[in-house]
Amino acid sequence: MLISASRGYKELPTLTAISLDQINRALSSRLTPWTDLATAATPSTSTARPTRPPSQSPSLPPPFQTSSPHHPGLPPSPRGRYPFILYPSSFIRACPNSNATHRTHHKLVSIHRKTRFNLPRQGLRKMSTLTAITSSTSPLASAFKKQKVAIIGSGNWGSAIARIAGNNALKLSDIFEYEVSMYVYEEDFNGKPLTQVINELHENPKYLPGIKLPENVVAYPSAAKAAEGATLLVFVLPHQFIRSVCTQLKGQINPEAYAISMIKGVEVKDGEISIFADVIEETLGVECAALSGANIANEVAEDKFSETTIGHREGEKGKEAAELFFKLFDTPTFKVGMIEDVAGVSLCGALKNVVAIAAGFTDGLGWGDNAKAAIMRIGLLEMKRFSEEFFKGVKPETFTETSAGVADLITTCFGGRNRKCAEAFVKTGKSFEVLEKELLNGQKLQGSETAREIHEFLKARGKVDDYPLFKAVYSIAYEGIDAHDLTSKL
């Protein structure tokens, strides 16, 4: 720390080291009496420090206002010795003869030491320079700006991720606000609105029965209300609804907010294809990352171990967004990895559902595990080739080294709703639309829809035959081709 004094200012430093954890605890309490910090630190060889009776709690008055020509906003000081602590965007003074801790906000960087000065009143007022030199990128830099979280979606996966976010918001109360809002499409459940049921039971009995949600997760029937004031937006809707929800939110979102897409699908419009992280970013004007991985929602909700991957944008804002979402989601049983590849992570999450439909066909046909393994190998190659051909910046390692790639493909081809419905499609002869209603309890089947969208996109470019597995899935699902022909042209 460097203190520069002038115009008669007398410096009498006595340094006492204070750990980062101690400062964090003080900041999170928003009450930072220097005596409380000092008792936890190594004492210096100074005279006795003033103390406050334990029963008296400090209070925070409004920021000081002063007409000092040298340092506007700096409080005048009586005579005597006073401790000063500099934090990011904060200047704090604790008076020995007062039970209050006084705070005024200045644009200062953080220091990790406490210094006591003998400051004459006029010396303080005339002090011309006070500079703390340290890292301006300290972890404390965001301590005064808590993040407000909104989950946009409340299905099986949305409710599971809301549970994780709610629990982490409680544990990391110095980073996140208490309430985690969750947008719930309003529908009737046993004669009551679903939002009311969720808020009363702290459970989503329709889409995630038997799993308790933390009490700080609050359901709202309006997406705009749930997103009000949010700085972290988590989109976890069926991809068929994302465009209409974004339209509702347009112009009502904090422009400094960060978003993350957990949507497993693509949008094909006028012959062009987009990932939903781009749709969200372009519609709402906020930085948007993507999350995908080997994450069957029920297993995640039951705290069974799994991994996931955040794909983030390049640059400092992209990294900052990813780090915040990492803190929001990472737990000992839900391990979060990060990679600079939004497109790759998004496309893995969308295209693996098409491959899972093919895997379900093999189950329905009774072809065994060898056939399914072959379908998965061919499917992974087509996923990777498609992504690299039509999207820029896709990283090969996303497909082979992250949970979003091969791990999610394995999980989806052996479990999950797409494989389940595809198996039933072969065995029953019913359409996917009928099976969706019969088997998914209101959830949406995404693999068959994505297969149709990918086919339309490839057809517009004359490239359908370049992706034989994708073509076969579409032909069986929509053109009446016999499932036994799945591998005939692979």
Catalytic residues: 352
Give the SS3 label for residue 453.
helix
Specify the DSSP class assigned to residue 75.
Answer: P
Q: Name the DSSP class of 173.
A: T
CB count within 10 Å of CB 42 equals: 9
Q: Is the dihedral of CA 241, 247, 253, 256 positive or negative?
A: positive
**Helices within 228-290 (DSSP H only):** 242-249, 276-284
What are the backbone dihedrals phi and psi of residue 246, each rounded to the nearest 5 degrees, phi first?
-60, -35
CA distances from 94 to 13, 49, 85 (A): 16, 12, 9
CA 38 to each of CA 26, 44, 79, 487: distance values in angstroms, whole numbers, following the listed order: 11, 9, 21, 73
Query: Which residue, 259, 264, 311, 265, is CA-closest to 290?
Result: 311
On whether the CB atoms of residues 87 and 23 are closer than 8 A, the answer is yes
Longest dimension (CA), the chain: 93
Cα–Cα distance for residue pair 144/473, rounded to 1 Å = 52
DSSP symbols for 339-385: ES-HHHHHHHHHHHHHHHHHHHHHHHHT--HHHHHHHHHHHHHHHHH
Tokens 């189950």 locate to: 363
d(CA 204, CA 42): 50
- Torsion on CA atoms 337, 343, 349, 354, rounded to nearest 10: -150
> Which residue do the tokens 């009776």 mark?
53
Here the tokens at position 81 are: 């010795």
Q: Cα separations (Å) of 450 from 100, 149, 262, 480? A: 61, 29, 15, 18
